[in-house]
Amino acid sequence: MIKTITPETVVKALEHTLLRWDCKDPESHRLVERLCQEATQYGFAAVCVRPIHFTTARYALGATSVVALAGVVGFPENPLTKAIEKAHPIIGAVNSTTKLQEISSAQMEGVDELDVVMNNAYFKTDVEVGGTFTAEEFTGLRTCADDLPIKLILETDLLTPEEIKQAVTIAVNCGIDTIKTSTGFITDGVGATVETIELIRETLDGLGATHVGIKASGGVKTYTQALALIQAGATRIGSSNCVAIAEEAMALLA
């Protein structure tokens, strides 16, 4: 899917993130405030933060900000490798009740969008044995979230192309709003790639789900990367390097 994308379009698709595993001390709240200020200054689509920062981000953005506040649900605490994840599943491996509680808390703290991590290990088991846990959890999350948009994080570095298509299909059937590629916490992963975005977009189009968005996240550091991912079909770009990307975009307009 190659289409003409302007620098302004790229900037408006950015989600400014602060999800580092070590960002939990008092100083981190000042970093979140700066994150929100930068997102407002550049006109990003959203900021994306951990539950500990929901309230700080909501106050920093204000009640009427056009910048959305996205909050993660079931997000891993620490970075890990593929081998560690295979031996001891962590990605999305949070009790469903805990995810529902995190969603309820996010609603009360003024979050506008939810970035929810799929239980990767349970999904793989469902694929192997024909189980229904994944669909049931997605349905429960969708019901609990009410009208808040849900971005489902697949962690595509851990999935085969066929598994990605299966996960996308289940998500669409359960009313998920956006498919997100990665947490960015797989240290030996590649994160978002053009090929993966194209695969997700083709799958969505084949399901007649052209309304479902795609958030490319994980390893996106430059304007060139962001542009290529949007050309491939992404509707949002999650990155902790949004200011640098925006500055690159502005330089093209100078």
Name the residues annotated as catalytic: 115, 180, 215
Handedness of CA 86, 92, 95, 96 (dihedral sign): negative
Do 167 and 182 contact (CB within 8 A), yes or no? no
DSSP 8-state symbol, 218: S
Do 182 and 157 contact (CB within 8 A), yes or no? yes
- CB neighbour list of residue 118: distance below 8 Å, 6 or more residues apart: 91, 92, 134, 152, 153, 154, 155, 167
Token pair of 198 as six digits: 């194209």
Do 49 and 71 contact (CB within 8 A), yes or no? yes
The widest CA-to-CA distance across the chain, in whole angstroms, is 56
HEC letters along 70-126: EEEECCCCCCECHHHHHHCCCCCCCCHHHHHHHHHHHHHCCCCEEEEECCHHHHHHH
Cross-strand bridge partners of residue 213: 178
* Dist. CA 153–CA 144, nearest whole Å: 17
Residue 181's closest CA among 164, 160, 202, 203?
164
